[in-house]
Amino acid sequence: MTRIFDDPADFADDQLAGFLDLYTDRVRGVPGGVVSYRTGTPQVGVVIGGGSGHYPAFCGTVGPGFATGAVVGNIFTSPWAAPAYSVGKAADQGKGVIFSFGNYAGDVMNFGIAAERLRAEGIDTRIVIVTDDVASAEEQEKRRGIAGDFTVFKVMGAAAAEGVGIDEVERLGRAANAATRTLGVAFSGATLPGEDEPLFTVPDGHLGLGLGIHGEPGIRDVAMLPARELADLLVDEVLKNAPPGAGRRIGTILNGLGTTKYEELFLLWGHVASRLRDAGYEVVDPEVGELVTSLDMGGCSLTLMWLDDELDPLWRADAYTPAYRKAAAPVAELRAPTADEEAEADAVVTAPEATDAARNLATTVRASLDVMATVLTDNEHELGRIDAVAGDGDHGRGMLKGITAAVDRVGAQGDQVGGAWRLARAGQAWAERAGGTSGVLWGAALESFGRALGDSAQDYPAAEVTRGVRAFADAIVELGGAKLGDKTLLDALLPFVDELEARVGDGEELAPAWRAAASVATAAGKATSDMRPRIGRARPLAEKSVGTPDAGATSMALIVTAVGSVLEGK
């Protein structure tokens, strides 16, 4: 359990401030994360990242021979696009930037958006996604990224330090990912700051096989094993998934998840090393310790990277970072960026002229956001509990952070803005603060809602509002890639939109049509209990999720019901 904090909601930001103060001689803070001071020779920027709670991943491995920068998200939550863009821009030295991160939907979307922004500014930006977790899927491209992040990041950082071009760094990163496999086990669940209970528990005398690093439980529980048999399990399962044509040299990591003692890892390593050598493998520069953690989770993981003549020297190469140091790195050449290198243009965006109708609509938007904040505050812990059954348990907190940011942003606006402008700014604030998959989806959807309405109309009849609602839903469908029946928020949202369109099309007024559609959404959200997730983090844990409704669908139903009360004047 995390005991040292002020406001749990600010834990990620507060710990980063302390980290930056501690390592100010080698890294510097930029909006959204950290970057290394530069050497005399420009190199490809390798920018890594993800949620907090995994130290030393990710900011702990920023430095010569490793990553150029790290984007820091909230606890177990992917960072949103703006910080990724900020860190990527700060890390660019004129040689291009490569984003690398684990294969999670929120990371893929947010880093993808940031990459597009950098490319639009002329910065060559590539993406290398880590997919090493053998327990999460049969096909490698569908697998999660867990402790294999470290090997992929290490290879690219070493290649960049050698001065090779971006094409080569990208190619080597993909080669490292293709050569890396990981399996983890959990002995106990992680506990979010401010919470009293872990995200999941493991039955006494058992371990969870195939855990995730965001507090996700294992794929299945198995009886606890003596150290030697646990080593055999880890080694055999990873070797079983060896890449085609793999050789006999392997870079190896035995990784602690947060509370497993180093002495336990050393003991286990003795068995792992013996088992690997007996199988005819050459163990190259093994690493044992906490490299990719999950707050206070008890457990460990074994990562193997099959080495060839290209990957071997990069795995062995020198590095010097706050949390990882190998031999003597060229620290003496580090320098701070010049003023020109740090300069960033901040675009000033002003609200367009709004009609009286648009300003009246803004009042309704503000009231709707306020009531959404109330309902999400009241249900934060229940939404987190639902999400933790087959996910990371952060849905309630993420939604509350998003709506709080949206309310704060619109509260800072004047009275002359229109409803469309207010929706768009609320969406941007939501995505910025909430992060993760739901954060970016809600942010994009609210912006689309605003664009569909505009602030120049003389009236906003029910049909026009309904058109905006459809644009809201279409944005989520397009960006998230889910469909009806995948056990996502769409399973409540799409029936709501269909019912609203049908009733408004028949001439019904907006308030009663919305109320009826909200009832349909509530029933549809509850019906997700019988579904198995087909995408996202919960997919590998599909059976565990049966009997529990989807957290996103549940929050969506709560929200449309609450907004209905505003439309009815309650």
- The CATH number covering residue 540 comes to 1.25.40.340
Mean pLDDT of 158-183: 98
Residue 350 has what pLDDT?
76
Report d(CA 517, CA 77) in Å as an integer: 31
Judged against a pLDDT cut of 80, whether residue 491 lies above it is answered with: yes
Looking at the structure, do residues 523 and 382 belong to the same domain, yes or no?
Answer: yes
Catalytic residues: 214
Q: Quickly state the pLDDT bin for 2 (edges 50, 70, 90).
A: confident
In 76-130, at which residue ranges do the beta strands (DSSP E only) sit?
Answer: 97-102, 125-130
Judged against a pLDDT cut of 80, whether residue 538 lies above it is answered with: no
| pLDDT tens figures, 419-441 | 999 999 999 999 988 877 889 99
Residue 347 has what pLDDT?
42
Q: Quickly state the pLDDT bin for 541 (edges 50, 70, 90).
A: low
| pLDDT tens figures, 354-402 | 999 999 999 999 999 999 999 999 999 999 999 988 777 889 999 999 9
Looking at the structure, do residues 315 and 410 belong to the same domain, yes or no?
Answer: no
Residue 359 has what pLDDT?
95
Looking at the structure, do residues 94 and 142 belong to the same domain, yes or no?
Answer: yes
Judged against a pLDDT cut of 50, whether residue 544 lies above it is answered with: yes
Report d(CA 171, CA 193) in Å as an integer: 39
Residue 399 has what pLDDT?
94
- The CATH number covering residue 276 comes to 3.40.50.10440
Looking at the structure, do residues 310 and 382 belong to the same domain, yes or no?
Answer: no
Looking at the structure, do residues 65 and 161 belong to the same domain, yes or no?
Answer: yes
| pLDDT tens figures, 244-282 | 999 999 999 999 999 999 999 999 999 999 999 999 999
In a domain, 339, yes or no: no
Contact 118, 111 (CB under 8 A): no
In a domain, 173, yes or no: yes
In a domain, 119, yes or no: yes
Q: Quickly state the pLDDT bin for 214 (edges 50, 70, 90).
A: confident
Would you call 221 helix, strand, or coil by DSSP? strand
Burial bucket for residue 227 (CB in 10 Å: 0-12, 13-18, 19+): middle
Residues sharing a CB contact under 8 Å with residue 47, sequence separation 6 or more, in sequence order: 67, 68, 69, 70, 71, 84, 87, 88, 91, 97, 98, 99, 100
In a domain, 330, yes or no: no
Range of the domain at 99: 8-325
In a domain, 331, yes or no: no
Residue 15 has what pLDDT?
95
Mean pLDDT of 476-503: 95
Last residue of a domain, one of 269, 304, 325: 325
Looking at the structure, do residues 175 and 259 belong to the same domain, yes or no?
Answer: yes
User: Hey, what amino acid is at 222?
Assistant: V
Residue 570 has what pLDDT?
72
Residue 333 has what pLDDT?
63
Last residue of a domain, one of 306, 325, 344: 325
Residue 217 has what pLDDT?
77
Q: Quickly state the pLDDT bin for 536 (edges 50, 70, 90).
A: low
In a domain, 138, yes or no: yes
Report d(CA 552, CA 525) in Å as an integer: 9
Looking at the structure, do residues 298 and 421 belong to the same domain, yes or no?
Answer: no
Report the number of distinct structural domains present in the chain: 2
Mean pLDDT of 208-237: 89
Mean pLDDT of 480-485: 92
| pLDDT tens figures, 106-142 | 999 999 999 999 999 999 999 999 999 999 999 999 9
Report d(CA 393, CA 198) in Å as an integer: 9
Last residue of a domain, one of 325, 348, 382: 325
| pLDDT tens figures, 434-481 | 877 889 999 999 999 999 999 999 999 999 999 999 999 999 999 999
Q: Quickly state the pLDDT bin for 348 (edges 50, 70, 90).
A: very low
Judged against a pLDDT cut of 60, whether residue 344 lies above it is answered with: no
Looking at the structure, do residues 321 and 360 belong to the same domain, yes or no?
Answer: no
In a domain, 350, yes or no: no
Looking at the structure, do residues 200 and 270 belong to the same domain, yes or no?
Answer: yes
Looking at the structure, do residues 299 and 404 belong to the same domain, yes or no?
Answer: no
pTM of structure: 0.78
| pLDDT tens figures, 44-79 | 999 999 999 999 999 999 999 999 999 999 999 999
Question: In which residue are the tokens 């907090």 written?
Answer: 52
Looking at the structure, do residues 237 and 156 belong to the same domain, yes or no?
Answer: yes
In a domain, 135, yes or no: yes
